[in-house]
Amino acid sequence: MRKDPARLEFEIQARDGSARTGLIRCGHGEIATPAFIPLATKASVRSLSAGEVAELGYVLVLGNAFHLHLSPGEDRIAAHGGLHGFMGWDRAIITDSGGFQVFSLAHGGVADEIKGRRGEGEGRAKVEISERGVAFQSLLDGSDRFIGPEESMAIQAKLGSDIALVFDECTPYHADRDYTARAMERTHRWLARCLQWHEREGPPGQAVFGIVQGGVHEELRREAAQKVGEAAVDGIAIGGTLGRDKPEMAEVLALTAPLLPADAPVHLLGIGEVDDLMRAIPLGMDVFDCAVPTRLARHGVALAPEPEGRFRIDLAKQRFADDDGPLAEGCPCEACRRHSRAYIHYLARARELTGARLLTLHNLTYMERLMAGAREAISAGGYGAYASAVLAGAAPWAAPVAATGAAAGPRPNEG
């Protein structure tokens, strides 16, 4: 691990078991951890302005080097003040390297996302992996493109993010152990190239996070954790497939977390469901990004303290047509303060943009309060009770944060 305060500092402030609160200090401010990171994949948290995202309490968003490289291009963004200036965001930004997107192209998910398709068949793209990097065909204009370790770091340098992720090969769950091992070893060689490029040409204030791969295989995760932990990185991300289901993911995270440097900030990539976060925080995870809260909002789904429904309710269902209650009782977001489930049901069924916007405000408020409650509970030594209450169906703003037997009870709604 590298210690360079000019790039990034991480201070652990409180512990409750392995759960911890901390401060990540970087070029554009401080991030209190544990924290959820909204996705600004294409320089936008969809349906919200940068100012609105800040008003919800967020201080860190995630942009994606792959998507921004394809359009509008890193040179254009750089000419407009980097990603901060381009999107009008004066707080911290982390950028994904694009590795996940490049290696997902042939499976259709990213192809559909790029082209704006909504479920009318799978996309396919020609992808050729070599030691040098990955050649692929742009699904925007059909042009031949190439991204390798140096290219990914150069894109992120021009974007001007506070934290850049190294370029890695993200293997799918169905890959066998031998392929996963070869991909992990190539990822480690790419890690060295990313760091060499960044040392020569990277912005002096930009931090770099390495990525621990290895699939579901304990010995590979162990090897990856050692390799990345010994590299000159400023933080560590956990990536790659974490298993076929939640129990296997929990096993992989439980075996990986203790292998990481104790003083490193840890980013769990692509995980953001309520129950997953409540179970990852006590393993010592610090920051999380995920498309789920905003994607659900665009499909008429609200986060809610309803564990039997996977902490979500589908407002398009007919049973909400005459429901005058809020999305979640006590939630301070605009959707819950001003509107009913019936109104948002109507908007969702009519596919009105206002519905997606209100649900995005609600879902991101829910996630912000979930993390704020976790930080408060850890500081008070009561994380176990807090997580148990949330998982049992307590709203984040109502769950107890004090240790068992302490005088403090549920927090008042902060409005």
Q: 106 burial class (0-12, 13-18, 19+ CB within 10 angstroms)? A: middle
The active-site residue out of 96, 162, 276, 286 is: 96
Place of tokens 């040392």: 199
Residue 66's closest CA among 33, 106, 110? Answer: 110
- Stated as kind and residue range, the H or E segment containing 330 is none
CA dihedral 13, 224, 208, 143 (to 10 degrees): -140
Distance CA 414, CA 184 (A): 46
Q: Concatenated DSSP letters for 84-122?
A: HHHHT--SEEEEE-SHHHHHHGGGSHHHHHHHT--SSS-
Separation CA 341–CA 350 (nearest Å): 14
User: Torsion over CA of 138, 143, 149 and 153, rounded to 10 degrees?
Assistant: -80
Collapsing DSSP to helix, strand or coil, 395 comes out as: coil
At 165, is the secondary structure helix, strand, or coil?
strand
Catalytic residue at 234?
A: no
* Cα–Cα dist 323/325, whole Å: 6
d(CA 322, CA 411) in angstroms, rounded, equals 31
What's the Cα-to-Cα distance from 205 to each of 8, 26, 161, 163, 199, rounded to whole Å? 8, 8, 9, 9, 11
Total count of residues recorded for the chain: 415
Nearest partner of 241 among 232, 251, 231, 233, judged by Cα: 251
Q: Which of 4, 141, 289, 323 is catalytic?
A: 289
The reply to whether 289 belongs to the active site is: yes
DSSP 403: P
Which of the residues are catalytic?
96, 289
